[in-house]
Structure formats: structure tokens, C-alpha cells
């Protein structure tokens, strides 16, 4: 009976030893998993912090872009206003140019008519000059005749 108990004790001791080994292995595995969990938790925390920073940077970038966009919209509105003013000014200038072109055409017509009149008057002057020269010659001849007659 003692040997049976001894065998049972040995068997229980072996089981205890196996259980202790399994326990040690499980504790070691738990410790490794716990360390990995802590590492992953830190990694997650770091990633979340990084994501938060990125999100904040993105918000700032978006805010800056919105401000820049606002400025560009104001600039565009000013440019469109300037363009409209320039178009109105261009229309006014075209109208004035058209009036000036008509006046120039009328002046050119008047100038051509005046030139024709001057040409005609030159012809008349030339004709009269010839007649004066003839009359002076006749007068000179008559003066000579008068002097001879005296």
C-alpha cells in the first residue's frame, strides 16, 4: 500500500511539476503579451498623438487656404470691377473716336474743297497778273508815246 501511495505521490509530483512548468510558460507568455500590449498601447498613443497633430496642422492649412481664398475672391471682384470700368471707358473712347473720325473726314473734305478753291483762285490771280502785265506794258507804251509826242 505504501508503494501505491508513493507512486501516487510521484505521479502527483510529476503533474505538479508539469503544471508548474506550464504555469511558468504561461506566466512568461503573459509577460511577453503584456509587454507587447504595452508597446502596442504606446504605439497607438503615439499614432493618435501624431494623427491629432496632423489633424491640427490640416485645420490650420485649411484655415490659411480659406483666408487666402477669401483674399483671392476679393482680388477677383476688384479685377472684375476694374474690367467693367475699362470696358465702359473703351466704349466711351470708341464713341469719341467715331465722332473724331467723322470730324476728321469732314475736315479732310473741307480741306480738299479749300485746296480746289485756292487752285482756282491762283488761276484767277495768274490770269489777272497777266492782264496787269499787259496793261502795264500798254501804259508804258502810252507813256513813251506821250513823251515822244511832247
In a domain, 65, yes or no: yes
Rounded to an integer, the average pLDDT of 65-78 is 98
In a domain, 103, yes or no: yes
| Residue 136 neighbours by CB under 8 Å, 6+ apart | none
Q: Could you tell me the residue range of the domain that residue 99 belongs to?
A: 1-114
In a domain, 55, yes or no: yes
In a domain, 66, yes or no: yes
Instruction: With a cut of 90, say whether residue 65 has pLDDT above it.
Output: yes
In a domain, 90, yes or no: yes
Q: What is the DSSP letter of 84?
A: H
> In 3-state terms, what secondary structure has residue 119?
helix
Give the cell for residue 105: 473726314
Q: What is the C-alpha to C-alpha distance for residues 29 and 36, in angstroms, rounded to an integer?
A: 10
In a domain, 105, yes or no: yes
- What pLDDT is stored for residue 1 in this prediction? 64
In a domain, 149, yes or no: no
In our burial notation (b when 16+ CB lie closer than 10 A, e otherwise), range 108-146 reads eeeeeeeeeeeeeeeeeeeeeeeeeeeeeeeeeeeeeee
pTM over 0.75: no
Count of domains forming the chain: 1
Rounded to an integer, the average pLDDT of 74-87 is 98
Rounded to an integer, the average pLDDT of 79-104 is 97
Instruction: With a cut of 90, say whether residue 3 has pLDDT above it.
Output: no
Q: What is the C-alpha to C-alpha distance for residues 46 and 52, in angstroms, rounded to an integer?
A: 10
In a domain, 136, yes or no: no
Amino acid at each position: 500500500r505504501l508503494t501505491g501511495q508513493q507512486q501516487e505521490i510521484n505521479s502527483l509530483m510529476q503533474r505538479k511539476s508539469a503544471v508548474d512548468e506550464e504555469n511558468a510558460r504561461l506566466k512568461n507568455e503573459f509577460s511577453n503579451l503584456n509587454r507587447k500590449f504595452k508597446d502596442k498601447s504606446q504605439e497607438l498613443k503615439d499614432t493618435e498623438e501624431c494623427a491629432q497633430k496632423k489633424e491640427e496642422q490640416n485645420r490650420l492649412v485649411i484655415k490659411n487656404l480659406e483666408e487666402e481664398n477669401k483674399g483671392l475672391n476679393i482680388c477677383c471682384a476688384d479685377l472684375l470691377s476694374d474690367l467693367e470700368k475699362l470696358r465702359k471707358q473703351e466704349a466711351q473712347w470708341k464713341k469719341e473716336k467715331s465722332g473724331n473720325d467723322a470730324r476728321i473726314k469732314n475736315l479732310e473734305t473741307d480741306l480738299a474743297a479749300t485746296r480746289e478753291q485756292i487752285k482756282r483762285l491762283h488761276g484767277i490771280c495768274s490770269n489777272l497778273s497777266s492782264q496787269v502785265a499787259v496793261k502795264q506794258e500798254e501804259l508804258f507804251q502810252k507813256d513813251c508815246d506821250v513823251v515822244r509826242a511832247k
